[in-house]
Chain A
Amino acid sequence: MTNEFQTHLSEEALNDLLIGMGSAEAEQHLAGCAQCRARVELFHSDLKLLDETSMAWSRVRAASMADGAAATTSRRLSLATMGWAATGVALLALAVPVWRNVNRHADQTPTASTPPAAVAAEDSEAQIAADNQLLREIDAVVNSHEASPFGEPLRTDRPRARHKVQPE
């Protein structure tokens, strides 16, 4: 037996005993020392109070967990249903303006019966017709100047003004 145990157990030795790592000497001292035994018993008494109370609390809390879990599941299901409903409404709210927009553009854009290529062809034919008309008018004007094939080229009928410039 060391000097440490000739009086009482040190804090360290007592702690080691409480956690199950006490030396044989400490165990031997404890068996013969009422004061050290009282310290150990005090700790065990406090621990017992905490153990019993906390376990009783935990049992009640654990029992209420089942109800809580059911309520949570129910709440989650309700939230999920509400979520899907809200999503549906949101999609509808988005779909209506989009559908309207598509229809409005449909009035201004080619339909299935008049594909864009055909429309382009129509535009092209009209343009060609207009161009041809212009060419015909030009031909008519040009032909009117062909009365005398012997005339000077590029000569017009308009008499050329020949004025003598008077000196001032």
Chain B
Amino acid sequence: MGAYMSTEAMDTFPLGSLESPIMEQARPATELDDIDGLVRTYRARILRFVTYSTGDPDLAETVTQDTLLRAYRGRESFRGDCSVSTWLTGIALNVMRDHMRSARFKFWRQVHSSALDVQEMASFLPGSESSAERRLLAKEKLARLQQVLKDLSPNQRTVFAMKFFEELPVNEISAMLHMPVNTVRTHLHRALNAVRARMGESQ
């Protein structure tokens, strides 16, 4: 995906409350205390979310590393009022916003752009698509899906990824993005209309 989330769009992700250092009582030991386990469990998930949200797999790697590092360093602030996965998604949104606001990012965006490679992605099609014909059809379908997601606005893509990859309920997405529920719903409707219209063409 070549399109990046704009700095303006990222302004809508003020997730400071998710990283609040306020701690009301001693936090019991959690999986956050094991950095290796944290990386092993959540890195791929965060990487995918950030890749789809930013449209840039290279940037997504950096954001993912920073997210895990920031989460580990700030693990004392995790109050347990949401899942670790949701907490990490919130941190990832903040890290993305920080990266995209930086002057360095703005500079490199001018000279470098890495996009999600559909062919590369297609090589990871599930093994159940065993016959050559089925694999070909699945590959075409995947390419269309990728293209539809690429053509979505950054906000629509992020909200879509939060809903259908991270499986977050709409009200939680609304809270995390500080967006009204109806705005999130509108973004999702537009994304779904685009996806279903494009995928319906092939039926």
Contact for A62 among B44, B122, B196, CB less than 8 A: B44
Bound together, the chains give a CA A46 to CA B125 distance in angstroms of 12
SS class of chain A's interface: helix, strand, loop or mixed?
helix
B76 interface hit (Cβ, 8 Å): no
Question: On chain A, which size bracket covers the interface?
Answer: 20 to 34
Nearest CB in chain B: distance from A58 CB, A:
4
List of A residues within 8 angstroms of B124 by Cβ: 53-54, 56-57, 60
List of B residues within 8 angstroms of A18 by Cβ: 192
SS class of chain B's interface: helix, strand, loop or mixed?
helix
Bound together, the chains give a CA A74 to CA B196 distance in angstroms of 46
List of A residues within 8 angstroms of B45 by Cβ: 55, 58
Bound together, the chains give a CA A61 to CA B48 distance in angstroms of 9
B84 interface hit (Cβ, 8 Å): no
Contact B47 A49 (CB under 8 A): no
Contact for B195 among A46, A55, A62, A68, CB less than 8 A: A46
A157 interface hit (Cβ, 8 Å): no
Contact for B193 among A15, A42, A56, A65, CB less than 8 A: A15
A12 interface hit (Cβ, 8 Å): yes
Query: Among B10-18, B101-109, B138-146, which stretch is in contact with chain A?
Result: B138-146
Contact A55 B44 (CB under 8 A): yes
Question: On chain B, which size bracket covers the interface?
Answer: 35 or more
Residues of A31-76 at the interface with B, using a CB-CB cut-off of 8 Å, are 39, 42-43, 46-47, 49-63, 65, 68-69
Give me 24 A-to-B residue pairs in the complex whose CB atoms sit less than 8 angstroms apart, sorted by A's number: A15-B188, A15-B189, A15-B192, A15-B193, A19-B163, A20-B169, A20-B170, A21-B170, A42-B200, A42-B203, A43-B192, A43-B195, A43-B199, A49-B138, A49-B145, A53-B121, A53-B124, A55-B44, A55-B45, A55-B48, A56-B124, A57-B124, A58-B47, A61-B61
User: Ordered nearest first, which 9 A-B pairs have the shortest CB separation?
Assistant: A58-B48, A56-B124, A62-B44, A58-B44, A59-B44, A62-B43, A57-B124, A15-B189, A15-B192
Interface residues of B (CB under 8 A from A): 43-45, 47-48, 51-52, 57, 61, 64-65, 120-122, 124-126, 138, 141-142, 145-146, 163-165, 169-170, 185, 188-189, 192-193, 195-196, 199-200, 203
Interface residues of A (CB under 8 A from B): 11-12, 15-16, 18-21, 39, 42-43, 46-47, 49-63, 65, 68-69
